Amino acid sequence: MCCASSELGQGAHVEREVMLVKIQASGYGREEVKRNTEIFRGQIIDVTPTLYTVQLAGTSDKLDAFLASLRDVAKIVEVARSGVVGLSRGDKIMR
């Protein structure tokens, strides 16, 4: 089985997006990045003395909220987002 493509706008479905974000912070800002990453159930996947790289998955609204939560305490240096992927809920299968 290879791939299928279908419009999921109608009917029950689940959607997710993956985001990698590079964040520059110091002092209090570093603690806020760690705290917000935990609150949003993300993972810090790389650390340097001045930067964190965070991986986060969820709805587009969740990812947007994470970015907004950091705007006043850290500098968002780079963002990469997968775009939305999804599947139908329950027994419905894409064909």
What are the sequence ranges of the domains in the chain?
A: 14-85
Given a cut of 60, whether residue 1 has pLDDT beyond it is no
Task: Average the pLDDT over 12-20 and give the result.
Answer: 91
Q: Does domain 14-85 have CATH number 3.30.70.1150?
A: yes
pLDDT of residue 78: 98
- Please report the pLDDT score of residue 49 as a whole number: 94
Return the HEC string of the chain: CCCCCCCCCCCCEEEEEEEEEEEECCCHHHHHHHHHHHHCCCEEEEECCCEEEEEEEECHHHHHHHHHHHCCCCEEEEEEECCCEEEECCCCCCC
- Could you tell me which residue, 87 or 46, shows the higher pLDDT? 46
In contact, 4 and 94? CB cutoff 8 Å: yes
Instruction: Work out the pLDDT band at 14, boundaries 50, 70, 90.
Output: confident
